[in-house]
């Protein structure tokens, strides 16, 4: 899948639409999800144009990958869910119901999150 530069997170990165920023580095941006599914629901995205985990893991530089992994941990500590626990997930493609075609890791927490997956 080719990267679509009109996706909503690309527009956030270009400053065309606002976000509630939590954290930013040279390679990453983190902001609150607009429709939170838990008391803490933050999205961490790379600044590079990567559709999903599949694209990022294949094409990103080692520096981008290291920065992204580091940022996810840093953000979880920053929003205070490291002690109580949190769940990370990243949707890729059709079966995951990925909505926004720019890689993002969801950090969710702030309450017990229940079982991992439910059947449709
Ligand atoms: P996905 O299903 O692609 O893994 O998740 C996309 C997430 O992006 C959803 O949780 C949705 O609420 C969030 N989202 C969609 N549009 C916006 C937006 O304009 N701003 C923010 N902050 N989050 C958004």
Where residue 65 sits, what CATH number does that domain have? 3.30.428.10
Instruction: For residue 82, count CB atoms less than 10 angstroms from its CB and return exposed for 0-12, middle for 13-18, buried for 19 or more.
Output: middle
Closest-CA residue, ligand 1 atom 17, reads 34
For the stretch 42-73, pLDDT in tens is: 999 999 999 999 999 999 999 999 999 999 99
pLDDT at 120: 72
Distance 33 CA to ligand 1 centre (A): 6
Q: Establish if 116 belongs to a structural domain.
A: no
Residue 100 three-state SS: coil
Total structural domains in the chain? 1
Mean pLDDT of the chain: 97
Residue 19 beta carbon below 6 angstroms from any ligand 1 atom? yes
Our answer to whether residue 106 is catalytic in this structure is no
The CA-based angle 83-86-72, given to 5 degrees, is 95
In the structure, what pLDDT confidence band is assigned to residue 81 with cuts at 50, 70 and 90? very high
108 CA distance to ligand 1 centroid (A)? 13
Instruction: Tell me if the pTM is above 0.95.
Output: yes
Is 114 inside a domain boundary?
no
Print the domain residue range for 50: 8-109
CA distances from 45 to 28, 64, 111 (A): 6, 11, 23
Q: What separation in Å is there between the alpha carbon of 90 and the centre of ligand 1? A: 12
Instruction: Flag whether 86 is in a domain.
Output: yes
In a domain, 1, yes or no: no
């Amino acid at each position: 899948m080719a990267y679509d530069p009109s996706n909503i997170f690309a527009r956030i990165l270009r400053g065309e639409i606002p976000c509630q920023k939590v954290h930013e580095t040279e390679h990453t941006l983190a902001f609150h999800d607009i429709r939170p599914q838990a008391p803490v629901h933050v999205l961490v995205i790379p600044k590079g144009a990567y559709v999903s985990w599949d694209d990022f893991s294949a094409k990103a530089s080692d520096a981008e990958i290291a920065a992204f992994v580091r940022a996810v941990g840093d953000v979880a500590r920053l929003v205070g869910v490291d002690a109580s626990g949190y769940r990370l997930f990243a949707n890729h493609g059709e079966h995951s119901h990925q909505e926004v075609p720019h890689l993002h890791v969801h950090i969710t927490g702030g309450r017990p999150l229940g079982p991992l997956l439910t059947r449709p």
